[in-house]
Amino acid sequence: METTKVAIVGMGTVGTGVARLLLDHGDRIARHAGRNLSLEQVVVRDLSKSRGAEVPTGLLSTDLKRITGDPEIKVVAQLVGGLNPARQIMRQLLESGKDVVTANKALLAEHGGELFDLARELGRSIAFEASVAGGVPIITNISQCLSANQIVSLSGILNGTSNFILSQMEKGNEYGEAVREAQRLGYAEADPTMDVDGSDAAQKLAILAHLAFGARVHWKDIPRVGIDRVHVDDIRYAGELGYRIKLLAVARLLDPGDSSQGLEVHVAPTLVRKGSPLAEVRGANNAISVVGDAVGRVFFHGLGAGQMPTASAVVSDMIDMAVGRTQLTFRTLQLWSDREAQVDACDHNNVMGRYYLRLQVDDNPGVLADVAGILGQHDISIASVIQHEAAEEGADQDKRQVALVIMTHASTEGDTRMAVQKIDRLPAVRPGTVRMQVMD
Ligand code: NAP
Ligand code: HSE
């Protein structure tokens, strides 16, 4: 049987999983690839760190030249996170003639154009299944299996850490503790701020929007709100109303028949009706609901973060590269190239949706009427209202505050935002009204 020599750069959570699969399951991989994948080098930053996989003596080093200088090594898994030095490492690997597999969505969302152009120029390929949704094979499905379709929309839970934290909060666990647990389990980024503020999901959505719609949208231009704004009270009220809160990443053609109308893209905590597939995604799982004009709705679900699920996607890409499949797809798809179909992001203010509002108001006569009046001025119709009696028995009536929860009928993002700004200026309302989209 032929052998393809491979290497790994970066042996943290994901790199360790990749090494374990290559070293412990070589026979299985050889059966699927029709060739052996021989791990020749593993480059790390700090040799003194203990690793969760037994790497044979002599393989581990801090010297990238041991990979770039060896023409026999054909495929490299680049598993260093962040932008620098990951970007330089990617460039050096491509320039030294390697085909590269990466899980680094931050790098692709920021410098995908440059790196894909370089790979094309050099006749090399980049594979990145693990960069979105970890172990869930969404990249291959969108770029290959659904290529007969015009994708109309995709809605996904793309950040495992956020979904894990929300699931923990639903069980009554505290936010900070849930973040620490996600870090301990290897789901979170080196800087978990990127997970909880919606940036990681926006980076993944930018990649999917490229693949599914040919959209050139930079992740920083995607309107995004993270779960760091979600309060346990909102989880409770959402539950009372029959919903769960999920961090949804959405890309949707405003008019499926006319892509010139633009693409709605956003990342935000969203109320999703209990029992619907996205609402029931728990823990570090990810899910993506894709609608294509020919196939209809298809749903992908599985672990979106963690060592072995992510390694599963990386090693599958390595096998595809060893076999030669990726090189063909890479050349054909022309990703991040000027030949991609173009669609622009639409003005987010015009996007229609239903909204959940939670206000903290003085428990006085006329307050609800004032709030309803402002919503009415902006053509926003109220679907339901919850106000529980104030808890503090005997407190001074004038000082009592209560939560007022309002579900609206469909209105535009711009109108709702403006109405909430006005509501927040009412003397009886404490500024900081919570506003979340509702997906029915
Ligand atoms: P990690 O645990 O922080 O590991 C990063 C590794 O990169 C470490 O082993 C580190 O070496 C190594 N490294 C850093 N700078 C280096 C350099 N200059 N030369 C060589 N090695 C260097 O990160 P991770 O969780 O494995 O994530 C890796 C990538 O996969 C990230 O882009 C991440 O976004 C993505 N990803 C992660 C997951 C997940 O569930 N964790 C899922 C999907 C995608 P030392 O160990 O020696 O410091
Ligand atoms: N930190 C990421 C997440 C890892 O939680 O989803 C997978 O990309």
pLDDT, one tens digit per residue, over 21-46 is 999 999 999 999 999 999 999 999 99
Which atom of ligand 1 is nearest the CA belonging to 16?
Answer: 26
The residue from 5, 98, 105, 204 that is catalytic is 204
Q: What is the mean pLDDT of residues 87-113?
A: 97
CB 199 within 8 A of CB 224: yes
Encoding tokens for residue 408? 């609206």
**Ligand 2 pocket, 187 CB below 6 A?**
yes
DSSP 189-248: -SSTHHHHTSHHHHHHHHHHHHHHH-B---GGGS-B--GGG--HHHHHHHHHHTEEEEEE
Q: What is the share, in percent, of the chain residues with pLDDT greater than 70? A: 97
Task: Give the single-character DSSP code of 53.
Answer: S
**Ligand 2 pocket, 81 CB below 6 A?**
no
Residue with tokens 């692709």: 108
CB 75 within 8 A of CB 50: no
Q: Name which of 147, 134, 112 is nearest 317 in CA terms.
A: 134
Which atom of ligand 2 is nearest the CA belonging to 187?
Answer: 5
Predicted confidence (pLDDT) per residue in 242-300, tens digit = 999 999 999 999 888 888 889 999 999 999 999 999 999 999 999 999 999 999 999 99
Least confident of 96-105, 163-172, 249-258: 249-258
- How confident is the model at residue 220, as a pLDDT? 96
Q: What is the mean pLDDT of residues 191-214?
A: 95
**Proximal ligand: closest to the CA of 313:** 1
CA distance linking residue 195 with residue 227, whole number of Å: 9
Predicted confidence (pLDDT) per residue in 350-391, tens digit = 999 999 999 999 999 999 999 999 999 999 999 999 998 877
Residue with tokens 């052998």: 3
Predicted confidence (pLDDT) per residue in 133-152, tens digit = 999 999 999 999 999 999 99
Distance 14 CA to ligand 1 centre (A): 7
Task: Give the single-character DSSP code of 10.
Answer: -
CA distance linking residue 88 with residue 117, whole number of Å: 15
From atom 8 of ligand 1, which residue's Cα is the shortest distance away?
A: 12
Question: 267 phi and psi, to 5 degrees?
Answer: -125, 125
Which atom of ligand 1 is nearest the CA belonging to 45?
Answer: 47
How are the residues of the chain apportioned to helix, strand and coil, as percentages rounded to the nearest 5?
Answer: 40, 25, 35
Distance 92 CA to ligand 1 centre (A): 17
Which atom of ligand 2 is nearest the CA belonging to 201?
Answer: 6
Q: What is the mean pLDDT of residues 56-64?
A: 93
* Rg, the chain, Cα only: 24
**CATH-assigned architecture of domain 138-304:** 2-Layer Sandwich (3.30)
- How confident is the model at residue 398, as a pLDDT? 59
- How confident is the model at residue 294, as a pLDDT? 97
Residue 416: in which H helix or E strand, if any? helix 413-423
**Ligand 2 pocket, 305 CB below 6 A?**
yes
Q: How many residues are there in the chain?
A: 440
Arithmetic mean of pLDDT over the chain: 94
Q: Where does ligand 1 bind, in terms of residues with CB under 6 Å?
A: 9-15, 43-46, 49, 79-81, 85, 103-104, 130, 134, 186-187, 189-190, 305-306, 310
Return residue ranges of the chain for CATH 3.40.50.720: 3-134
Q: First-to-last CA distance in the chain?
A: 54
pLDDT band at 6 (very low <50, low <70, confident <90, very high): very high
Pocket test for ligand 2, best of 14, 104, 195, 203 (most atoms within 8 A of CB): 195
CA distance linking residue 7 with residue 344, whole number of Å: 38
Does residue 74 register a pLDDT over 70? yes
pLDDT band at 400 (very low <50, low <70, confident <90, very high): confident
Residue with tokens 């090399």: 124
CB 119 within 8 A of CB 264: no
**Ligand 2 pocket, 188 CB below 6 A?**
yes
Distance 15 CA to ligand 2 centre (A): 14
* Known catalytic membership, residue 204: yes
Q: Domain 3-134 sits in which CATH superfamily?
A: NAD(P)-binding Rossmann-like Domain (3.40.50.720)
From atom 12 of ligand 1, which residue's Cα is the shortest distance away?
A: 10
Distance 266 CA to ligand 1 centre (A): 27
Distance 165 CA to ligand 1 centre (A): 21
CB 141 within 8 A of CB 360: no
Return residue ranges of the chain for CATH 3.30.70.260: 350-439
Q: Name which of 38, 404, 344 is nearest 214 in CA terms.
A: 344
**CATH-assigned architecture of domain 350-439:** 2-Layer Sandwich (3.30)
CB 67 within 8 A of CB 76: yes
CA distance linking residue 312 with residue 137, whole number of Å: 10
Predicted confidence (pLDDT) per residue in 293-332, tens digit = 999 999 999 999 999 999 999 999 999 999 999 999 999 8
Sequence-ordered list of residues with C-beta below 8 angstroms from that of 197, at least 6 positions apart, any chain = 224, 226, 228
pLDDT band at 340 (very low <50, low <70, confident <90, very high): low
Q: Name which of 234, 136, 228 is nearest 436 in CA terms.
A: 234
Pocket test for ligand 2, best of 159, 191, 193 (most atoms within 8 A of CB): 159
Return residue ranges of the chain for CATH 3.30.360.10: 138-304
CA distance linking residue 202 with residue 208, whole number of Å: 10
Does residue 399 register a pLDDT over 80? no
